Amino acid sequence: MEVAISLGSNLGNRVSLLKEARDRLASLSSPGSSLTQAPIYQSAPVDCKDDSPDFFNTVVIIEYEGTPEDLLQSCKQIEKDFGRLLDSRTGERHAPRPIDLDILYFGEERLDTPDLEIPHPRMLKRLFVLKPLSDIRPYHTLPGDIVIIDDHLKHLDSGEPPLTLIQASW
């Protein structure tokens, strides 16, 4: 199953943390499959406190054989291992964090549970998600949608400042 996961970091050595998280996600991939990664962009924090540091954001695509719930648990464990506070998911939203992982889509699955919504419910409203996803899957159509990712990006009116390219290859 092709799965897209967004990665973000706004604490610590952001590029190193994104690389380490990417490698952890690659270890979850189906044996023999490859990982596709978008460039890393810097973005202003969205819906965060005024003094929050800028984020570095990217998207990776892996092939995954488990369930969406299994992948969610693995992502939460990676976040915890990188120092994200256990209660940050239920406590203060959008607090600064070393790593943030969000499942964007999971093949053609559609899921809406208290713990997980797939496709990600806010991904089409966020420049810092759409731009890196468009870099690697511009013609992808999400389950239940008829518009390709690149067109969503072209028509996005999020009010976010432009992204800054940090690293094309990493």
Q: Is 24 a catalytic residue?
A: no
- Going by C-alpha positions, the residue among 104, 100, 135, 132 that lies closest to residue 119 is 104
Q: Which of 22, 87, 89, 102 is catalytic?
A: 102
- Catalytic site includes residue 100: yes
Q: Which of 22, 50, 51, 84 is catalytic?
A: 84
Among this protein's residues, is 102 annotated catalytic? yes
Task: Identify the CA nearest to 10 among candidates 99, 122, 130.
Answer: 99
In sequence order, what are the beta bridge partners of 102? 6
Q: What are the two backbone dihedrals, phi and then psi, of residue 109, each rounded to the nearest 5 degrees?
A: -70, 145
- Is there a catalytic annotation at residue 93? no
Q: Which of 14, 22, 97, 137 is catalytic?
A: 97
Q: Which of 100, 126, 135, 137 is catalytic?
A: 100
- Number of other residues whose CB lies within 10 A of the CB of residue 83: 12
The residues carrying an active-site annotation are: 84, 97, 100, 102
